[in-house]
Amino acid sequence: MDERIAGLDAENLDAVPEYRVFPKSWGAEYTAAGEVRFRIYASGVEALSLRLADEQVPMSTTADGWFELLATNVPPGTPYRFVLPDGGQVPDPAGRALESDVHGASLVVDPTAYSWKASGWKGRPWSEAVIYEIHVGTFTEEGTFAAAAERLSGLKDLGITTIQLMPVAAFGGRRGWGYDGVLLYTPHPAYGEPADMKAFIDKAHGLGLMVMLDVVYNHLGLDGNYLEAYAPDLFMDEGTPWGPRPDVTRKPMRDFVIENALYWLEEFALDGLRFDAVDRIEDQTSDIHIMEEMALRIRDALPGRHVHLVVEDGRCITALHERAEDNSVRLYDAVWNDGYHHLIHAWATGEHGGHFKVFAQDFWPRIGKTLATGFALQGEKIAEKGDELVGEPSGHLPLVTFINFLQNHDQIGNRGRGDRLWSNIEPDLAARLMAMLLLSPQIPMVFMGDEFQSKGRFFFFADYPADFDQNTPEDRLRQGEAFGSADLTLDEIRDPTDVATFSDSKLDWQEAETEEGVKVMAEFRNLLQKRHEHLMPLLRDIGGGVGHVLTAEEGLLAIDWQLGERRWQLRCNFSDDEATLPPVHGQTIHVMPGEAEADIRDLSRFAPRSLIIACG
């Protein structure tokens, strides 16, 4: 084995900081200088060959469906494909790079070639997370890792601490959201080479920013999913509208998925992962559910680093988030708290259809419960589930278990019109909602452009082949209605495959330079400065059971959180009339509107449309 690679593990990363490699069981791996082992699981065929550059060589097989070949004198950048018995040539499902697209050749990559600059980076505690979600292809006009890297210092200056990338695993075509990835180890070529992604992360670390990646294991995409053709036993019989479901009870697929997570975290030095729709990953027959095994394997493999694991899970359950006796994270740090978004959106916009229907009543008592104790649904009956109770009590979990947001890619792009919240509510209300989000103890997440309240559209876009019957206008209309656009019409639906739909989704940075954009961004920065100075120090190691709702009725909210020896206090009067609320005590951190702090701190009468954050 190459002595550069031998001995490289989490314990001596500082000794050889310029090299990071994860030795995968799938794909092309250097075992010595110029010597590459090619390995692939292809149980559906009896023979397999490797086409390496211009040479085709038969691969040896084992009884359990694996094919291998050891090749020498293979320089980085060499193209290769696996050749099926019918002559079809397919890329490496675990390849690191592509020559062109998911239908072409893979490229041999030396993962030790990139020299990391921020070699001492160990990450940041989860309590310091302020998440900024981006889509690489639309974050800048260029749509690349390199162009996105040029924006990182500006985000750091605003107070952002965590960049969350929407999926970057290679998918069919040049443009898309990324949730139909088919080559899970390969950064999407339109965004740049693996080294470009590493440079983006490296620059972020140099600025003190964490970087997390959205990964998708509940299904694979359709365009370019050749794995299903030569290893059909790795997929479940029943698929999804977006593609086939991996059968994670099968060891080769289970290893493929778990190693993929470890690969991104180790080889790309990522600070964490966001797992898409884990409630749709079926694994009833394994001794341990894959999501539990996944977290345990990651925690065991990467000691000494702050590695954060987040799930999207519509069940509102606590099993993945229960803390150890010392309050440390055992499995997953946090969960996207959709219920918070749904309650705020339904109240603020008046959109009560689709998936907002469940949340279209008792807004303020439920908002109060969510801010104080976590989930919006904690064991309730909803019409869609009959007598089944949805959700579990979550108040015993630390507040940082819950990621709250006012919108994300789904809640904008799936609306049909691609309209953001800021186009549908008044600026004054938008400012108060942002203050409540950024100065509450949960982990806040914003979508790219929220810092200047972009009015730009963000549509669902894709680059499917013409013969793909997927995401028809009728499908998108139903999706839009489910996401609150009750009056959406069929003729408003944009063609996802039209390049203009993609182009019109690019973030317009000129909005940030307008008078209004500059003003909004200054207030955003001010709120995050206050979070960094006053709230973050109180959140580290805080357990559960600290939130207490004092008042929660139409437009009125009073919550106290006991954060160690300090009491963090929120008072909202979002009504149009003066109202009485429990007074705040101690230091006022933020007041809206901006009356003098001394004049309002000890009052129990609160002005209309006001918000106060205090700490005593």
Determine whether 276 is an active site residue. yes
Beta bridge partners of 212: 164, 272
Counting DSSP H helices and E strands in the chain, the numbers are 16, 29
**What is the residue type of 542?**
I
Residues contacting residue 395 through CB under 8 Å, at least 6 positions apart: 372, 373, 374, 378, 544, 545, 547
Annotated catalytic, 450?
no
The angle at the Cα of 110, spanning 73 to 119, to the nearest 5 degrees, equals 145
Encode 337-367: b = buried (16+ Cβ within 10 Å), e = exposed. bbbbbbbbbbbbeebbebbbbbbeeebbebb
CB proximity list for 374: less than 8 A, separation 6 or greater: 337, 394, 395, 397, 399, 401, 402
State residue 80 phi and psi, 5-degree precision. Answer: -150, 155
| C-alpha distances in Å from residue 154, one per residue of 8, 63, 133, 174, 198 | 34, 55, 15, 27, 19
Residue entry with tokens 């729709």 = 277
3-class DSSP assignment, residue 533: helix
In this structure, the dihedral spanned by the alpha carbons of residues 316, 319, 325 and 330, taken in order and rounded to 10 degrees, is -100
State the catalytic residue, choosing from 180, 267, 276, 450: 276
User: Residues for the chain: how many in total?
Assistant: 616
For residue 487, count CB atoms less than 10 angstroms from its CB and return exposed for 0-12, middle for 13-18, buried for 19 or more.
exposed
Per-residue burial over 532-559, b = 16 or more CB atoms within 10 Å of its CB, e = otherwise: eebbbebbeebebebbebebbeebbbbb
Handedness of CA 398, 348, 439, 411 (dihedral sign): positive
Choice among 101, 312, 313, 410 that is catalytic: 312
Q: Do the Cβ atoms of 332 and 310 come closer than 8 Å?
A: yes
Query: What SS3 class is residue 77?
Result: coil
Catalytically active residues are 276, 312
